[in-house]
Amino acid sequence: MSLSGSYDASNIFAKILRGEAPCVKVWEDADTVVFMDIFPQTQGHCLVVPRDVEARNLLDLPADRLNGLFGRVQKTARAVVSALNPDGVIITQFNGAPAGQTVFHLHVHVIPRYENLPLQPHHQGKMADMDALSSQAARIRSAMEA
Ligand code: 5GP
């Protein structure tokens, strides 16, 4: 999908936001939902997703939503660091299929980086164990609510 075009409300993240598809939710507020990536590149890989906006990518997002979204990205990254104690944290976001985007509702990846744990390449993560994902989500949620 190119950078230009119309928003397709049947994408999987739109379904998750509408409650039509499941997710392992970490945290939410009126503007944003944070849930675990089901094919994580490493332990604790979260996605920060704006709700109530038809934005395929960052270029589509109304400018008045930018501060709110990146405030939640920072809040999530701080919680991931506090909960999981990684050695680093990657914040990444892809715009358009040639850039690596596969789900066309805007989202920001928060990916902890552990020195002694290999990072799976983008799109090459394996389906997560749901108990492990739920446990990580609970720890990150506690840190977000602290
Ligand atoms: P993108 O490539 O668009 O930046 O990232 C999409 C991300 O969504 C990928 O990291 C992929 O693992 C994740 N993903 C794809 N399908 C689902 C799903 O059904 N549920 C969840 N939680 N994550 C998904």
The model's pLDDT over 45-96, given as tens digits with 9 standing for 90+, comes to 999 999 999 999 999 999 999 999 999 999 999 999 999 999 999 999 999 9
Q: Is 17 within the bounds of a domain? A: yes
Q: Distance from the CA of 79 to the center of ligand 1, in angstroms? A: 20
- Note the pLDDT of residue 123: 87
Residue 133 lies in a domain: yes
Q: From ligand 1's centre to the CA of 36, what distance in Å?
A: 9
Q: What is the pLDDT of residues 10-31, one digit of tens each?
A: 999 999 999 999 999 999 999 9
Q: Supply the DSSP string of 74-134, one letter for each residue.
A: HHHHHHHHHHH--SEEEEE---SGGGT--S-S--EEEEEE-TTSPPPPTT-PPPPPHHHHH
Beta bridge partners of 111: 90
In 3D, which of 59, 70, 54 has the Cα closest to residue 105?
54
Residue 1 has pLDDT above 70, yes or no: no
Domain count, the chain: 1
Which two structure tokens, joined as six digits, stand for 120? 């799976």
Q: Residue 66 domain-assigned?
A: yes
CB 56, CB 1: distance < 8 Å: yes
Residue 2 within any structural domain of the chain = no
3-class SS of residue 136: helix
Q: Which residues are CB-neighbours of 51 under 8 A, at least 6 positions away?
A: 17, 28, 30, 31, 32, 33
Domain that holds residue 141: 12-145
> What pLDDT, on the 0 to 100 scale, is given for residue 124?
86
Predicted local confidence at residue 2, as pLDDT? 76
**Residue 6 domain-assigned (yes or no):** no
| 122 catalytic per annotation | no
- Looking at residue 50, which CATH number applies to its domain? 3.30.428.10
141 part of a folded domain: yes
Is the C-beta atom of 1 inside 6 A of ligand 1?
Answer: no
What is the pTM assigned to this prediction? 0.97
Confirm whether 3 is domain-assigned: no
CB 36 within 8 A of CB 131: no
Question: Is 49 part of any domain?
Answer: yes
The stretch 94-121 carries a mean pLDDT of 96
